[in-house]
Chains A and B, each alone.
Chain A
Amino acid sequence: MLTAQPPSARDLARLSDEALLSLVASSDEDALAALYDRFGGVAYGLALRILRDEALAQDAVQDAFLGVWRTADRFLAERAKASTWILTLVHRRAVDLVRREHVRRSEPLEGAPEPAAATSVEDEASLGFRRRVVQEALSQLPPEQRQALELGYYGGLTQSELAERLDQPLGTIKSRMFTGLSRLRDLLDQAGLEGSYP
């Protein structure tokens, strides 16, 4: 497989996410392809979980990566982790679509699609590790905080939709989201899920 790639693509595999993004900002297609190879699977899995429709999930991923292509220079000016920025674009796009398309959002916790093969054994192993860390962290949250995060992030519900659905005051939902996400951040930090993409 490697021999089929041009030399530049092999070189790109050694660069950090942030370095790749800086090359994307100078309109380097190979760098965009390399970023897609790193994050396409996670992005698609996330979009599919939110949208539960393969065609819409593909649209969301496509729009998000073209957003990366068009606005990578703004990322550089803002200085953050590239993975966070990219996955934020994917999430936002998927949520925009789910709200626009009125996709059924009643059971976002169930029916997540089966994991499919990742691009390589190492990728699969590291992604599997990350998934376990995140799921383990979520399981340590109080159930109502976990529910608020999952219905909000994976379900695409706004906090007021959540308040109505759970029959709770808006302030309660806000507080659950804030406390839950802050706690999740601490748990992920402790688990060492920080730093650059492995």
Chain B
Amino acid sequence: MPADTHANVAAYALDALDAQDEREFEQHLASCERCRDELAALREAAAGLAYGAADAAPPPELKLRILDQARAERTNVSSLPARRRSWAPLAAAAGLAAAVALGIGVWAGTRSTSDPLASVLAKPGAKLVQLQGHGVVAVAPDGTAAVALSLPRAPAGKTYEAWVMRKGTARPAGIFSGSTVAKLQRSVPRGAVVAVTLEPAGGVDQPTTKPLAATEAVS
């Protein structure tokens, strides 16, 4: 009953399917591009409804509880090697299945154009690689890359500098004062590693310190 299943896309976007219908619809989604596109658009409209509810101030303790628990989970999880692995294979091979299994829905298309990370990710075949807990690097097949960096503000007189390293050479790819999202000023070819070092203010031509963080080789 594919037609009937397709008709469930709006109810799915509203979280209004009964459990059995929901399972069937998620199976259907995995093989129906039209439904995935439609769902992405309808999800946005459904999320718009969230703003139609009266805004209410949650108690301040709620934020503290959430952050406390998040911190506790990070302590437990951050030592696991899986946390450091690239997500690219997941995104490429299992992203759809994972999203469906989670019941989160399937998403397509980004609207954010001013965000350098999002604009790289919008390119077909773009991948994300972890920066060892200090952020992520998005790399498109044409080598365009952007970094989301999560680091404390650099000390006075110092700057963070990104490098594209390949075949024993390091080429400067931008300087940053701390947490930021920025396009890398050098393309990242296959096999290259993106690394971040702490350098004298203004940046240098070759790294003078050991990387604070580095990606795996970009595949």
A interface list, Cβ under 8 A from B: 7-8, 11-12, 15-16, 18-19, 22-23, 25-33, 36-37, 40-46, 48-50, 57-58, 61-62, 65-66, 69-71, 73-81, 83-85, 87-92, 95, 112-119, 124, 127-128, 130-131, 133-135, 137-138, 149, 152-154, 156-160, 162, 174-175, 177-178, 180-182, 184-185, 188, 193-196
Mask: chain B, 1-45; 1 = CB below 8 Å from A; 0 = not: 000000111110111111001000000000000000000111111
| Cα distance A152–B150 in the bound complex, in angstroms | 40
B67: A residues at CB distance < 8 A: 29, 32-33, 36
Q: Is B134 an interface residue (CB 8 A)?
A: yes
Residues A12 and B179 in contact, CB atoms below 8 Å apart: yes
Residues B152 and A138 in contact, CB atoms below 8 Å apart: no
Residues A184 and B45 in contact, CB atoms below 8 Å apart: yes
Residues B148 and A131 in contact, CB atoms below 8 Å apart: no
Residues A80 and B107 in contact, CB atoms below 8 Å apart: yes
Given contacts A18-B112, A18-B117, A26-B148, contact A117 B135 (CB under 8 A): no
Q: List 13 A-B contacts (CB under 8 A).
A: A7-B153, A23-B179, A48-B53, A48-B56, A79-B108, A90-B50, A91-B15, A159-B16, A160-B18, A177-B10, A181-B13, A182-B10, A184-B45
Residues B114 and A178 in contact, CB atoms below 8 Å apart: no
Contact residues of B between 46 and 77, Cβ < 8 Å to A: 46-59, 62-63, 65-67, 69-71, 73-74, 77
Number of A-B contacts (CB under 8 A): 295
B62: A residues at CB distance < 8 A: 40, 44, 58, 61-62
B90: A residues at CB distance < 8 A: 73-74, 77
Residues A80 and B110 in contact, CB atoms below 8 Å apart: yes
Residues A118 and B148 in contact, CB atoms below 8 Å apart: no
Residues A77 and B18 in contact, CB atoms below 8 Å apart: no
Q: Please name the residue on chain A nearest to B132 by beta carbon.
A: A26
Given contacts A49-B54, A58-B59, A181-B45, contact A80 B40 (CB under 8 A): yes
Given contacts A88-B43, A131-B54, contact A8 B153 (CB under 8 A): yes
Q: Please name the residue on chain B nearest to A128 by beta carbon.
A: B55
Q: Is B122 an interface residue (CB 8 A)?
A: yes
